């Protein structure tokens, strides 16, 4: 009996290995050993993208998307119908590398897809000898920009998609001195009676790329294809991002109706996608700390060469394990035989430089996400930028900005410190009373209120002015955390990168010391437990700053030092000598 079981197990094991080998062959573009794979699936799987981003997964389809039902049938029609054969491509698949002074891009002739974007001048934080790579398609990452056509009639050959093998047209691959533009164009074969010429125009000194789709109808009937533009990305956090502060990574859409809407990858997993589903303007984007990519669809070009708005459907969805897409689908109605229609778009791939993003498209600057304090953060960034224009150093500009904020809030802060000074003056009387009436809590409370009334002290007076200022300083925190200009920006001495933690932890130690000094200058609460918490909380809070960017720590040190100086001056002027209230544990 055991021999029979052992034999059966070996047969199952051997057959499993054969099946695995067969699937590996299919994955690498070879023909399957067995005939039971459907012809449609074989045709599609022969073009799978690397790192598991298969052809079916990377096409805009239904799933958990926000694509209207009217579009879904067309989207699903990408697979070749039974008996249909795709045209033989004019050239083998290859990678095309082009570069300007700002970008080094790698295109795949499969779909004319942008599969890698290296940002020249933006240093990789993990390896500062390399440039930062935003888009990539490798064994560890998937992040690409894809476009194509859908909408072919059922039972016919599909239109060219991002899986169609295209021919790259002759042209320069490097932006030459004295030239301001570099053009790379891809031409698809005739599929379903439609040919597409996709033209990417790169400009000197720019991260935005003009992308033009010329859709040519070579058939004998009027065609109405739909153009899709999408970004496909894995759900991993950017390499090297600190877990001590949370920044958003994921897809976002913008329309003039609903403005900026972002969705977490985890919400897409749970099918909790609540975004605007249609629009005639706006963009779709993939956002991460400091950087973003975005498709901005300008519209169809009319006879006068102007782009007319196109209605588009917006979608987000999960396309595979840990792989997500955000995109838009626009209908190109009624292209007559032997005519063509051109569609203009902008693809942005680069840092979240607020002023440049504002100039490109309405609302594009919102990919630099300040959260619910945007209304305060944007003016603060504007002021910080103006200070940097004058000073020329981001570190000194941060310190100058904090100084200006402290001056603006001087009167309010002074009121708070005056109230704290009065509290410190009556603390001995409060302590004596609490000791005397410790067994009579109700009487103690009444006596305490009497003392406050007689001394004209508001116990909340020292807190309220601080509470008013908290949103401003939180907004400034997000400004400093989100500003890409801080990357690799030096301040002084050993601080060579304001976006990286202090390598010697000197700034965090100074910040901790100033926080403790500030705590010691405050009046000790009568309650012993509260007094202990006043010291424990700043120490616990300071630990996080050892992992924060140097620019944030510098901002907090400046705020602490100015607060200490202000408190010292106000207490002295009130006749309440500053004294250090050390903890009693």
Which of 73-82, 187-196, 397-406 comes out lowest in average pLDDT? Answer: 73-82
- Contacting residues for 565 by C-beta, under 8 A, at least 6 apart: none
What pLDDT score was predicted for residue 247? Answer: 85
Q: How confident is the model at residue 66 (pLDDT cuts 50, 70, 90)?
A: very low
Which of the residue ranges 425-434, 450-459, 467-476 has the most confident prediction, judged by mean pLDDT? 467-476
pLDDT at 224: 94
The string of DSSP codes covering 183-215 is EEEEE---BTTEEEEEEEEEETT-SEEEEEEEE
More confident residue, 414 or 226: 226
Token couple for 282: 């706006």
DSSP calls for 550-570: HHHHHHHHHHHHHHHHHHHHH
The phi, psi pair for 32, rounded to 5°, reads: -70, 150
The segment with the largest mean pLDDT, out of 64-73, 351-360, 434-443, is 351-360
What pLDDT is attached to residue 412?
76
Mean pLDDT (whole number) for 78-82: 36
Separation between Cα atoms, residue 103 and residue 227, nearest integer Å: 26
Distance CA 123, CA 481 (A): 17
User: What phi, psi does 305 have (nearest 5°)?
Assistant: 85, 10
Lowest mean pLDDT among 380-389, 551-560, 573-582: 573-582
Contact (CB, 8 A) for 294 and 347: yes
Q: Which residue has the tokens 């508001």?
A: 458
477 confidence band (pLDDT: 50, 70, 90): confident
How high does pLDDT run on average in the chain? 81
Reported confidence tier of residue 130, pLDDT bands at 50, 70, 90? very high
Give yes or no for a contact between 402 and 566, defined as CB atoms under 8 angstroms apart: no
Query: The tokens of 155 are what?
Result: 């039972």
The DSSP line for 235-300 is -PPPTT--TTS----EEEEEETTTEEEE--HHHHHTT------EESS-EEEEEETTEEEEEEEEEE
The pTM score is 0.78
CA 202/CA 208 separation, integer angstroms: 7
């Amino acid at each position: 009996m055991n021999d029979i079981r052992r034999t059966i197990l070996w047969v199952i094991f051997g057959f499993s290995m054969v099946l695995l080998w067969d699937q590996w062959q299919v994955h690498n573009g070879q023909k399957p050993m067995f005939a039971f794979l459907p012809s449609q699936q074989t045709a599609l799987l022969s073009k799978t993208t690397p790192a598991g981003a298969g052809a079916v997964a990377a096409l805009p389809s239904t799933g958990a998307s926000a694509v209207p039902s009217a579009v879904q049938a067309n989207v699903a029609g990408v697979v070749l119908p039974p008996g249909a054969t795709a045209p033989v491509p004019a050239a083998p698949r290859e990678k095309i590398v082009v570069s300007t002074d700002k970008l080094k891009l790698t295109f795949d002739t499969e779909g004319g897809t942008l599969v890698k974007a290296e940002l020249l001048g933006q240093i990789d934080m993990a390896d500062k000898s390399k440039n930062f790579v935003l888009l990539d398609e490798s064994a560890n990452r998937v992040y690409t920009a894809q476009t194509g056509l859908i909408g072919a009639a059922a039972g016919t050959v599909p239109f060219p998609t991002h899986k169609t093998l295209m021919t790259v047209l002759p042209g320069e691959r490097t932006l030459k001195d004295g030239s301001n533009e570099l053009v790379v164009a891809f031409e698809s074969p005739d599929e379903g009676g439609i040919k597409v010429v996709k033209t990417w125009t790169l400009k000197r000194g720019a991260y935005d790329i003009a992308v033009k789709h010329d859709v040519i109808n070579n058939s004998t009937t009027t065609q109405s294809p739909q153009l899709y533009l999408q970004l496909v990305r894995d759900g991993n956090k950017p390499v090297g991002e600190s877990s001590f502060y949370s920044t958003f990574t994921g897809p976002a859409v913008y329309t003039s109706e609903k403005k900026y809407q972002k969705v977490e990858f985890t919400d897409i997993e749970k099918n909790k996608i609540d975004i605007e589903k249609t629009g005639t303007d706006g963009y779709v984007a993939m956002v991460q700390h400091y950087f973003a990519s975005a498709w901005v669809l300008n519209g169809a070009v009319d006879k006068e060469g102007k782009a007319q708005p196109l209605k588009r459907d917006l979608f987000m969805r999960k396309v595979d394990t840990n792989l997500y897409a955000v995109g838009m689908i626009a209908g190109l109605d009624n292209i007559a035989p032997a005519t063509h229609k051109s569609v203009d778009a902008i693809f942005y791939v680069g840092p979240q430089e607020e002023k440049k993003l504002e100039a490109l498209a309405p609302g594009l600057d919102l990919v630099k996400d300040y959260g619910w304090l945007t209304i305060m953060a944007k003016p603060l960034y504007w002021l910080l930028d103006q200070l940097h224009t004058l000073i020329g150093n981001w570190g000194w500009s941060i310190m100058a900005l904090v100084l200006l904020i402290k001056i603006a809030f001087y009167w309010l802060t002074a009121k708070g410190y005056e109230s704290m000074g009065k509290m410190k003056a009556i603390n001995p009387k409060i302590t004596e009373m609490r000791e005397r009436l410790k067994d009579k809590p109700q009487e103690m409370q009444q006596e305490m209120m009497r003392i406050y009334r007689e001394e004209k002290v508001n116990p909340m007076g020292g807190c309220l002015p601080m509470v008013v200022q908290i949103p401003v300083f939180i907004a400034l925190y997000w400004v400093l955390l989100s500003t890409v200009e801080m990357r690799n920006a030096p301040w002084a001495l050993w601080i060579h990168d304001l976006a990286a933690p202090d390598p010697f932890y000197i700034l965090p130690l100074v910040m901790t010391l100033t926080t403790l000094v500030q705590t010691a200058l405050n009046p000790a609460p009568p309650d012993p437990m509260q007094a202990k918490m006043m010291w424990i909380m700043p120490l616990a809070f300071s630990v996080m700053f050892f992992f924060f960017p140097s620019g944030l720590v510098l901002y907090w040190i400046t705020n602490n030092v100015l607060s200490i100086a202000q408190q010292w001056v106000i207490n002295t002027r009130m006749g309440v000598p500053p004294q250090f209230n050390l903890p009693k544990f």
